[in-house]
Structure 1
Amino acid sequence: MNFKIILLLFVIGLFPIMFDNSYAQITSGGFGQSPFERDFGDVKFLDAYFGTLNDKIEVEAGDSNVPFTVVFANVGTQDITGIRGQLSLPFNFSPSDGPGSVIHADSDSNSLAGENFHLTFFVNINENSQIQQYPGTVKVDYSRLRESGVRTAFADFDFKVTGDSVINVKAQEPFLTSLRTNNVVIEIANDGTAPISGVDIVATNTSTELASTSSSTTNVENVVILESSWDVGNIDAKSARYLTATVYVPESLKGDTLRIPLSIQYYNAHGDLHEISKIVDFYIKGLIDLTIFNVDVIELSGTQMVIGEIINEGNEDGLFGFVSIESKGDSNIKSATQFIDEIEIDAPVPFNVPIEFDGEPKYGEHDITITVRYKDSTRDEIFLTHDQTITVTEPSNGDENGTDPTMIIIPIILVLAAAFYIIRRRKKASIQTS
């Protein structure tokens, strides 16, 4: 009786072991009900993604002949050989070597016990595919060393069409002015279909870096940049972020192109850290710094005129200059304009605009606006305004037989104007010749 009871207990104890062994043969590869199951002697699925073994890549709809890698581990105690794989993906994906539902990869290599191995398939992605997660199935055939026959393992997995991130940079205003501090805005745009995150940007090859480099690839070391690194954060697909910098440009760079190299680090849709280099270009203009002064009213031959001078304290001539006067408030002075040509940096430029009234003349104080209109070296039109209060007096009616002082003043002014014009032209000719 005791013998029967002991035998019954022994059979009951062996039953789970027999069941486990049978289950292990069915689920070859370690793919059981739990992701932590591992059956020795089989292969175990680890990862599946677009790219090669050491480089995951971003893909989007319409990409063709894209590598798709599946990584396994040989979790058994024996080496395996003759590894071959078949990949089954949804209808939006097809083999790159022709139509068919199954994509083949042939490794024919060995995998040592305890080591990882991979299979790489080449896939076409349909143009109608969405950026999302998809299911897939892989089949692996292999043989154990010193053992006849072929074993098979299956694995179901999910993979993602990530989209592709495309990073471009550009300056919002591509012109800088020498002898001045410039507020620079740079656009960092993600023109792709995949978001990027953790974006950090550094202006490289600055004067602090030159101590450890033998030569400079740009002229950025000749300017002063108050900010050199920026934490931009995340940039969604088809969107942009902006960074600002304060740049001082010396006079010596006038007419040059300033090239600022940027090192951009970011995490792509796979979560991998990438680093790329971009360059932002700026054209450096000269400085035109105008001031209007010595504004007054004089009378010439019975005509009163608004006179004044313009001084250019910059390092570049203003081109195609005009001076205009306009009335303000209750003034009835008509608008008038005078062409003054170039506004050079070496001497004040005089102007004189006749005063005419709209209706009956009003004498006394008038509020006017003086506007200087000119162009810079890039042919952008610039306006300088100056508000002024002038006093217009009633023209004097002197003795007709007496000597008219204007008959003396006018020739003097004409001679001085002619001499000033000749001196300017000769100076410009000598400068151009040299």
Structure 2
Amino acid sequence: MKKHFVPATIIVIVVVAMLPGAPLGAFAQLSESEIVNANLSGPVFLDAFWTDRTTAPPAGTPLSKVEVAPGDGSSVLAVTLVNRGFSDITSVTGTLSLPSGFTSSSRSNQAVATYNGIVTAGNTFTLFFQVNVSNNAPIQDYSANLKVEYSRILEAGMPRTADVSVPFKLTGKVILDASSEGGVAPGTSGKAAIKITNTGSAPATGVVVTVPGSSGVNPTTQQASLVAVGQKSFEIGTIAPGNSATIEPVLYASNSAGETLQTIPLQIEYGNTYGEKKNSTVPVGLIVLPTSASSPLSVTPVGNSSIIMTAGKITDLKVSLANNGDQQLSDVVASISSTAEQIKILGKTSWTVGDLAPGASQEISTQVFSSTDMIGKAATFTLTVQRISAGQPEIETFDVGTYVDGEISVKAYEIGITYIGGVPNITGNLLNEGNVLALFTTVEVTGAEGLVNSLPPQQYLGDLTENSPLPFSIPIDVSSNTGAGTYPVELRVQYKDSLREQHTLDIKANVNFVPEAPAENTEQTQAAGSMMMIGVIAGIIAAAVIAVVAIRMRKKSKLKRTLQFSKQNGDNKGDDIESVLDSHFGSSNKKEEERASKK
């Protein structure tokens, strides 16, 4: 009887295929040598892709794949492994070594993920790694090393480990946008050019754009503003990153849609980098042009004062109403109103123009006032014109735009010559009597005939605040032979308003000049003063010395009289001068001791 030997490879394949619950697709990527190698009992790589979840989805729900582009930052890389061993495993921990351009959520080059469930033999499980994608990571294929630690069920001891190579790809993103070029006229049908652009970093394949049959439906009349009357689906194919494709659907715009912006929700179907079909709704705005009949009237401001108003002052507003058509306009009546509460119309608000022949114009004017709250802002006046043209009454409105500016009124005063540190300066003050800042203010001397050798440089003063004096001083080089007297000087002040327009103020004034004593004379005077002070101090000291000597002499004279008196009375103590001195100074010391004890 012959014995038949079955190859071990076939036995292993059959056994693995018979594992309960083992999906055959899980082994589709494994070669025969991989199945029978030494790592048969460990987890092996099945798939890796980017996803939008950090945990497995509910049972029966597939894990979605998303596109990730350079610079997307925090992303989730899902790595699916299969337990191809004969034992169930649990407590799985994966450590993924990331290539350059990728870091973990903790900013290291290793990302860690865990799976704590039980993975039966032959089943798959997924590790979710939180990865930060930097701008420096190019779109390409990558390979990372994954170290997997796991434990077998009912097996004691240290966890087992497996090294797995994980290939993955930074896919890039498909981002589709749409824009319209031109517009459509109301009451007619025509081609509307719509550009589809891929602003992303990955190609969009199999692009199909569908234009809705109608859009802009009026909820009251149930009538659409735009209707697609021609081809509605356009197959574009592939749109590479940064490229675009144009479609031209034929659209009809209703008469009531004139001068409006309509939105068309385009339905775009495309394939992403995973080969999956995606659907996206991209709105695109389309302008419906005004009616072909243009107005024969035009309104234009007259003079600069009608364009720029001065806040806080009454301003004249003048506009010209012109008939640019070829027919006479009759019974023309115009009225004006302000759109801002801070601007009031103080003059007329309506005018009866009457007939306006072709090519004729009529100027109308009024007075307006703006508060200072409007400084630096634009304002609009609405001019409404009623007229009769070709026997039909018509009403039109026009917007007259103006800009509200503040007032700057610079005055100069107290101009004169002042010595500062021994140097003559032309000094004075500038005052802004307006209600806004005068910006970048400068002052310079443009003329000082007979006073200076050369004109000094320009002085920068900065911003000139309203109602706040700003002093200035300009050092000058006075001629050595210039005598005292009154001299004419000319100053030029320049500044800019809030619109950065430069203004110039020329000032003429007469200043009084008195030469100051030379520095040498001043030093001599200071030296003489010092000598005089020394003499005064010496005198005071001499007087003090004389006073002390006089006091001592008086005391000495008194002692002599006392001695003589003692001799005349036969007092023996008087023979001894030391006794007398001791008695005199002893009594003085005794008095001082009594005063000290009382204190």
Q: Under a length normalisation based on structure 1, what TM-score does the superposition of the two structures give?
A: 0.58
> Larger radius of gyration, structure 1 or 2?
2
Q: CA deviation at 1:198?
A: 0.8
Contact 1:43/1:75, CA 8 A, preserved across alignment? yes
3-state SS, counterpart of residue 249 of structure 2: strand
Equivalent residue for 1:55, pick from 59, 64, 73: 64
Contact 2:212/2:228, CA 8 A, preserved across alignment? no
Structure 2 Cα separation of the partners of residues 186 and 220 of structure 1? 20
Contact 2:225/2:256, CA 8 A, preserved across alignment? no
Q: CA deviation at 1:237?
A: 0.7
1:341 corresponds to: 323
- What letter matches 1:427 in structure 2? I
2:248 corresponds to: 244
3-state SS, counterpart of residue 395 of structure 2: helix
3-state SS, counterpart of residue 56 of structure 1: coil
Structure 2 Cα separation of the partners of residues 15 and 176 of structure 1? 76
**Cα 1:349–1:179, aligned 2, differ >3 Å: closer, same or farther?**
farther
State the number of aligned residues. 296
Structure 1 Cα separation of the partners of residues 84 and 223 of structure 2? 57
1:258 aligns with 2:240: no
1:201-212 map, 5 Å: 201-204=209-212, 206=214
Contact 1:46/1:72, CA 8 A, preserved across alignment? yes
1:79-158 map, 5 Å: 79-99=88-108, 101-149=109-157, 150-158=159-167
Q: CA deviation at 1:222?
A: 4.6
**Cα 1:319–1:189, aligned 2, differ >3 Å: closer, same or farther?**
farther
Compute the RMSD of aligned alpha carbons: 4.3
Structure 2 Cα separation of the partners of residues 15 and 319 of structure 1? 99
1:37 aligns with 2:35: yes
Q: CA deviation at 1:342?
A: 4.9
Q: CA deviation at 1:105?
A: 0.8
Contact 2:87/2:120, CA 8 A, preserved across alignment? yes
Per-residue CA deviations over 1:66-100 (Å, capped at 9, x if unaligned) read 1111001233444321111111121222112132x
1:24-423 map, 5 Å: 34=32, 37=35, 41-51=41-51, 52=53, 54-99=63-108, 101-149=109-157, 150-173=159-182, 175-204=183-212, 206=214, 222-288=226-292, 314=293, 317=295, 341-343=323-325, 349=327
Q: CA deviation at 1:128?
A: 1.9
Identity of aligned residues (%): 26
1:427 corresponds to: 388
5+ unaligned residues in a row in structure 1: which ranges? 1-9, 289-313, 322-338, 351-414
5+ unaligned residues in a row in structure 2: which ranges? 17-25, 57-62, 300-320, 329-354, 362-384, 398-599
**Cα 1:225–1:75, aligned 2, differ >3 Å: closer, same or farther?**
farther
Segments ≥4 residues shifted beyond 3 Å: 13-17, 29-36, 38-42, 75-78, 204-207, 218-222, 316-321, 339-343, 415-418, 428-431
Q: CA deviation at 1:187?
A: 0.6
Q: Under a length normalisation based on structure 2, what TM-score does the superposition of the two structures give?
A: 0.43
Contact 2:190/2:252, CA 8 A, preserved across alignment? yes
Structure 2 Cα separation of the partners of residues 269 and 283 of structure 1? 35
Q: CA deviation at 1:65?
A: 1.8
Contact 1:200/1:266, CA 8 A, preserved across alignment? yes
Bigger relative contact order, structure 1 or 2, given CA contacts below 8 A and separation 6+? 1
Contact 1:219/1:259, CA 8 A, preserved across alignment? no
**Cα 1:113–1:220, aligned 2, differ >3 Å: closer, same or farther?**
farther
Structure 1 Cα separation of the partners of residues 82 and 42 of structure 2? 9
- What letter matches 1:42 in structure 2? G
Per-residue CA deviations over 1:108-163 (Å, capped at 9, x if unaligned) read 22223333210011112232222111111212222222222422222213211122
